[in-house]
Amino acid sequence: MIRPRFWIAALLAGCLAAPVWADAAPTDAAQRSREDARALAAKIDRFIAARLAAEKVTPAPVADDGAYLRRLSLDVIGRIPSVSETRRFLRDPGSIKREQSIERLLDSPGYVTNFSNIWRDLLLPEANADFQQRFLSANIERWLRKEFADNVPYDRMVRELITLPMQSNRQNMFYNLRTGAPSPLAFYMSKQGKPENLAATTSRLFLGVRLECAQCHNHPFGRWTREQFWGQAAFFGGIRSQGNNNNPFAPLSEVANRRELAIPGTERVVQARFLDGKEPVWRYKADTRNTLADWMTAADNPFFAKAAVNRLWAHFFGVGIVEPVDDFSDKNQPSHPELLDELARQFASHGFDYRFLIRAITLSKTYQLSSVHPESTPPDVQLFARMPVKGLSQDQLYESLIVATGTPNPNANQRRFAFNSPQNIFQAKFTNQEKRTEYQTSIPQALALMNSKMIADATHPQRSEFLAAVTNAPFLDTAGRIETLYLATLSRKPRAEELEHFRRYIEKGGAAKDPKTALADVFWALLNSTEFFLNH
């Protein structure tokens, strides 16, 4: 056993050799990966441009700096940029500042939180609707954070999920759920270990295939038969819930190497079979689900990489190349089939590196297009001639309000469990909607944004620390105060006519004949504006 002193010395030497506060120089592999991302971004633009030319559609111009930074922050770290982040970005004269901001955001903890939240909602949608199930989500969140923080390759993440061993010991299970190693066991538990639920969900999330209809009958429009559904479900056929019916807290066990399943309600027994018809090659002692994971994540699997790439594309562009993103079928042809193939190919050949793919997308000119199209009727959204307007998710809206108003933010995790907190009640009004490009606002949402205590406190000239600071800052004049509020909420500077309009309003003092109250009115209006509420 080497002495501790040796390790300390080695550590110190290591620390002195490369100052930890300097940006780590990218390794050769990282350099190549970034160059490849740039090249792929250029390819994306060529494919998009080719179709636009064929359809004789002009693309929108590139978005200005403020719009770009706001959109990038919302998409990558799940919130709008702060005033200082925006000021710094707008002031930076450098020509590669957009690329640098991508790197900065990918390296920030916000990226990990954002994508963990997104995947938690995908893996465990039950937890948003059922508070009993929310207790299951803590451990899976920890697992997701670790995966994203370590930049675990996507195929390995899926494999870990698919091949997770079941825990049949009830004591152990609850202990582990609360305090133990991060694990996605909750995924299996929330589906009650039912093979049909697991097959349907994994196919939808990782293969882009909606199998649900085929559970009971041959799909009326698509290609999936009942036989195929249960063949897929048979891979999970050994999993058993140890509780009585439908209990998401019951421990799960597994009968090892079970490869067949009886279709419930019938005498029919189906063998485990891949969706593309390939026969599984059962290796000696190979676990059933391992065999499924091998097939799913194989480089030549026709669904896996394309589904992953399509889903990530839809995250950034509001709609996928195939839309809906979990429904690859004859009815939903890809808008740009060669682009989809190329993205899938490169995702796989770069080791399913999520960040590589995010770089390629966000570096493209297509991603940077403005959401304002020159023509009065914008072209079809899947031509990607402009960035469509997207609704915010529940988490994005809340986090953005926190940043814009400087509201103290209790630990986000605690918020999820404090069911009765004003924050949770507010947030519960803004449930996620699948079609973000057709986002609907409701009356209770509008009332909450206009009149709720949370907004009232945030826009009060004294009670809001942020607003009080802006109001009383001696180094700001009225124009400067207005500009700060615009940067905080809309991540841009006011246009000349906007500035003039608000300056005059404030100097007149508004309804209360008091400039401080009038400034609060301006802040309220900005927070309630459509421009704040949407991702554009």
Partner 1 sequence: MSRSALQLSRREWLRLSAAGVLGGSMSGWLERFASAAADNPQRKRACILLWMNGGPSQMDTFDLKPGHKNGGPYKEIATSVPGMKFSEHLPRLAKHAKHLALVRSMSTKEGDHSRATYYLRTGYLPQGPVQYPPIGSTLSKELGSPSAALPSFVSIAPVPFLSPAAYTPGFLGPEYAPLIVGNQGYNFGQPQPDYEKTLKVEDLQPPGEIKQPQEDARLELLQGLQRDFVAKHPGAPALSHQSAYERAVRLMRTAASKAFDLKDEPPKLRDRYGRNVFGQGCLLARRLVERGVPFIEVTLSSVPGNNGIAWDTHGQNFELVKKLSEVLDPAWATLLEDLDQRGLLDTTLVVWMGEFGRTPQINPQQGRDHFANAWSTVLCGGGIKGGSIYGKTSPDGMTVKDNPVSVPNFLATVAQAVGVDPTKQNMSNVGRPIRIADAGSKPIKEVLS
Verify binding: residue 512, partner 1, rule CB under 8 A: yes
d(CA 229, CA 239): 17
- Which segments of 432-514 does DSSP mark as H helices, in order? 443-451, 453-458, 465-472, 478-490, 496-508
- Distance (Å) of CA 281 to CA 160, 285, 286, 392, 527: 20, 12, 10, 45, 58
Q: Which residues contact 480 (CB under 8 A, 6 or more apart)?
A: 473
d(CA 62, CA 387): 10
Verify binding: residue 510, partner 1, rule CB under 8 A: yes
Shortest distance in whole angstroms from residue 299 CB to partner 1: 28
Verify binding: residue 210, partner 1, rule CB under 8 A: yes
d(CA 423, CA 411): 11
Shortest distance in whole angstroms from residue 151 CB to partner 1: 28
Shortest distance in whole angstroms from residue 41 CB to partner 1: 25
d(CA 226, CA 442): 39
Verify binding: residue 531, partner 1, rule CB under 8 A: yes
> Closest CB to partner 1 among 126 and 147?
126
β-pair partners for 239: 254
Q: Determine contact, residues 484/467, Cβ cutoff 8 Å.
A: no
Binding partner 1 (rule: CB under 8 A), the pick from 48, 357, 448, 467 is 448
Q: Which residues contact 448 (CB under 8 A, 6 or more apart)?
A: 426, 429, 455
Shortest distance in whole angstroms from residue 415 CB to partner 1: 13
Shortest distance in whole angstroms from residue 426 CB to partner 1: 10
- Closest to 232 measured CA to CA, from 186, 263, 267, 187: 263
Shortest distance in whole angstroms from residue 459 CB to partner 1: 9
Shortest distance in whole angstroms from residue 83 CB to partner 1: 19
Shortest distance in whole angstroms from residue 446 CB to partner 1: 4
**Span 411-430, contacts to partner 1 by CB under 8 A:** 419-420, 424-425, 428-430
Shortest distance in whole angstroms from residue 314 CB to partner 1: 15
Number of shown-chain residues binding partner 1 (CB under 8 A): 73
CA dihedral 501, 505, 511, 516 (to 10 degrees): 130
Shortest distance in whole angstroms from residue 135 CB to partner 1: 13
Binding partner 1 (rule: CB under 8 A), the pick from 95, 179, 411, 440 is 440
Q: Of 31-39, 98-106, 304-312, 511-519, which part binds partner 1 (CB under 8 A)? A: 511-519
Shortest distance in whole angstroms from residue 207 CB to partner 1: 15
**Span 128-147, contacts to partner 1 by CB under 8 A:** 129-132
Binding partner 1 (rule: CB under 8 A), the pick from 213, 412, 476, 499 is 213
Write down the number of H helices and E strands in the chain: 28, 4
> Closest CB to partner 1 among 477 and 500?
500
Verify binding: residue 526, partner 1, rule CB under 8 A: yes
For 378-397, the three-class secondary structure string (H helix, E strand, C coil) is: CCCHHHCCCCCCECCCHHHH
Shortest distance in whole angstroms from residue 320 CB to partner 1: 14
> Closest CB to partner 1 among 38 and 415?
415
Verify binding: residue 317, partner 1, rule CB under 8 A: no
**Span 142-201, contacts to partner 1 by CB under 8 A:** 197, 200-201
> Closest CB to partner 1 among 301 and 370?
370
Binding partner 1 (rule: CB under 8 A), the pick from 151, 253, 445, 478 is 445
Binding partner 1 (rule: CB under 8 A), the pick from 371, 405, 427, 491 is 371
Q: Of 78-86, 96-104, 307-315, 385-393, which part binds partner 1 (CB under 8 A)? A: 385-393
Residue 311 is which amino acid?
R
Verify binding: residue 529, partner 1, rule CB under 8 A: yes
Binding partner 1 (rule: CB under 8 A), the pick from 266, 444, 504, 507 is 444
Residue 511 is which amino acid?
A
- Closest to 407 measured CA to CA, from 421, 389, 420, 417: 421
Cβ-based neighbour number of residue 171 at 10 Å? 9
Q: Which residues contact 177 (CB under 8 A, 6 or more apart)?
A: 135, 136, 138, 139, 185, 186
- Closest to 137 measured CA to CA, from 76, 187, 208: 187
Q: Of 231-239, 308-316, 450-458, 467-475, which part binds partner 1 (CB under 8 A)? A: 450-458
Cβ-based neighbour number of residue 406 at 10 Å? 18
- Closest to 272 measured CA to CA, from 322, 237, 239, 226: 237
- Closest to 327 measured CA to CA, from 435, 227, 230, 432: 435
Burial class (CB in 10 A: 0-12, 13-18, 19+), 54: exposed
d(CA 100, CA 310): 25
Q: Which residues contact 491 (CB under 8 A, 6 or more apart)?
A: 66, 67, 69, 70, 73, 80, 81, 86
Binding partner 1 (rule: CB under 8 A), the pick from 87, 88, 103, 125 is 125
x/- letters, 451..470, toward partner 1 (CB under 8 A): xxx--x--------------
**Span 50-109, contacts to partner 1 by CB under 8 A:** none
Shortest distance in whole angstroms from residue 296 CB to partner 1: 19
Verify binding: residue 434, partner 1, rule CB under 8 A: yes
Q: Of 337-345, 406-414, 472-480, 500-508, which part binds partner 1 (CB under 8 A)? A: 500-508
